[in-house]
Amino acid sequence: MTNLQKWKLLHSKMILDHYWCKVRQDEIQLPNGKIIDDYFVNIRPEITLILPITSSQEIIFVRQYRHAVGEFLLELPAGLFNPAQESAEAAAVREMQEETGYIAQQVTKIATLYDNPSKDTNKIHLFLAENVIQSGEQKLDMTEEIEVLLIPTESVREKILQGEISVAGTVAAICLGLNLLH
């Protein structure tokens, strides 16, 4: 049995409540009695992410500009969704089709992980799509400009180790998804 104790929430207020960004300021009491009055929490929507693999054992990636870090990053198709409006799996399949023009023949849930639980509230839902096929054109949002790349599965590990693939959710999905296949 553990002696760990949860923190006690004394007061909470929303300090930023915008559609794209919500931040809550909590006043908490630690188990040792110390009070922290400025613990900030990002209220973030759920994220879904899909690892699409073709019958030729190529992984479909998207490369896009990520303004927060100021870089073009190689990632798996992903997006925000509202669990009250659609399932994580349906959102993953939809995001893959919109961002890449590919559809899934078979989808398997890999895992649900916390994205950054020290400061963020959301989870990231990971899926594996096997035998994906191209079905049409991309249907991108206004802020999206996406390059679609197919990379052989045997090359992906080295790209992660070299830092070419460096987004945490993408790396987790690749490691867990490829392990699931073997």
Give the three-class secondary structure for 49. Answer: strand
| 65 and 120, same domain (yes or no) | yes
Give the three-class secondary structure for 173. Answer: helix
Find, among 65, 69, 59, the residue nearest to 157 by Cα. 59
| 32 and 51, same domain (yes or no) | no
Consecutive H or E run containing 51? strand 46-53
Structure tokens at 56: 């030729």
pLDDT classification of 128: cutoffs 50, 70, 90: very high
CA 161 to chain centre: 20
pLDDT classification of 140: cutoffs 50, 70, 90: confident
| 22 and 95, same domain (yes or no) | no
Q: What is the CATH number of the domain that holds 88?
A: 3.90.79.10
Is pLDDT at 65 greater than 90 in this prediction?
yes
Q: For residue 137, is it within any domain? A: yes
Residues pairing with 127 in the sheet: 50, 109
Supply the range of the domain harboring residue 31. Answer: 8-43
Percent of the chain with pLDDT over 70: 100
* pLDDT given for residue 182 in this prediction: 80
Alpha helices in 22-152 (DSSP H): 88-100
Residue 162, burial from CB neighbour count under 10 angstroms (0-12, 13-18, 19+)? exposed
| 34 and 52, same domain (yes or no) | no
Q: With a threshold of 0.85, does the pTM exceed it?
A: yes
